[in-house]
Chain A
Amino acid sequence: SQTIHQWPATLVQPVGSPLSLECTVEGTSNPNLYWYRQAAGRGLQLLFYSVGIGQISSEVPQNLSASRPQDRQFILSSKKLLLSDSGFYLCACGDWSSGNTIYFGEGSWLTVV
């Protein structure tokens, strides 16, 4: 079965600083990868998804970006963080051809101060 690793688990960053959250997946190949953000009372917001290396679809215009340098690696970045970027970030992995399920990592808490 698939295992998703996210790090760091917790991050406190000042406004205007850069961000890099990393997600790696084990136990599958050529997965679909997703970044979601969870803010209080707003459910899960899909930020980016990727169906292959170098292929990124952006769902929400913002100061975040995503990259997929390797098949099982997905990175969420920002050049300059805003207070509104605070939240719980979840990486997810899915393979619709086998099981039609997506699996989530344990999440990364980002607090922008």
Chain B
Amino acid sequence: AQSVTQLDSQVPVFEEAPVELRCNYSSSVSVYLFWYVQYPNQGLQLLLKYLSGSTLVKGINGFEAEFNKSQTSFHLRKPSVHISDTAEYFCAVRVQGGSEKLVFGKGTKLTVNP
């Protein structure tokens, strides 16, 4: 069965600094990969997704992620963060051609300080 590990539960950064949120997955077959963002007391919003093709995926709000098959990683990056990026970020994986399940990591709380 597939699984997702988000290596950092909390990441504090200063405004305008770059940030990387790490995600590794485990699966014996090909996968689809997703990043979602959750603002306080709200549902989840899709940031970006990797389905196939280019390994560098660009999403909303200036975020991007790179799929690395050999390292089974899908790290999320942003070159310069804003206060408004403070939220919880979830990485998720779904097996290609298999189950309808989308499995999530435990989340990374990003706090952007002035």
Partner of A105 from the list B43, B49, B100 (CB cut-off 8 Å) is B43
CA distance A39 to B93 in the complex (A): 20
Interface residues of A (CB under 8 A from B): 4, 32, 34, 36, 41-44, 46, 49, 51, 59, 90, 92, 94, 96, 100-107, 109
Question: Is A107 touching B90 in the complex (CB atoms < 8 A)?
Answer: no
Given that A32-B100, A100-B51 are contacting pairs, would A106 and B107 also be in contact in the complex, using a CB cutoff of 8 Å?
Answer: no
CA distance A90 to B32 in the complex (A): 21
Question: Is A43 touching B102 in the complex (CB atoms < 8 A)?
Answer: no
Given that A41-B9, A100-B49, A100-B51 are contacting pairs, would A46 and B103 also be in contact in the complex, using a CB cutoff of 8 Å?
Answer: yes
User: What's the dominant secondary structure at chain A's contact region?
Assistant: strand
Tally of contact residues, B, Cβ under 8 A: 23
Question: Is B42 touching A106 in the complex (CB atoms < 8 A)?
Answer: yes
24 contacting pairs across A/B (C-beta < 8 A): A41-B106, A42-B106, A43-B104, A43-B106, A44-B44, A44-B90, A44-B104, A44-B107, A46-B103, A49-B101, A51-B100, A90-B44, A92-B102, A96-B94, A100-B32, A101-B49, A104-B43, A104-B44, A106-B42, A106-B43, A107-B41, A107-B42, A107-B43, A109-B41
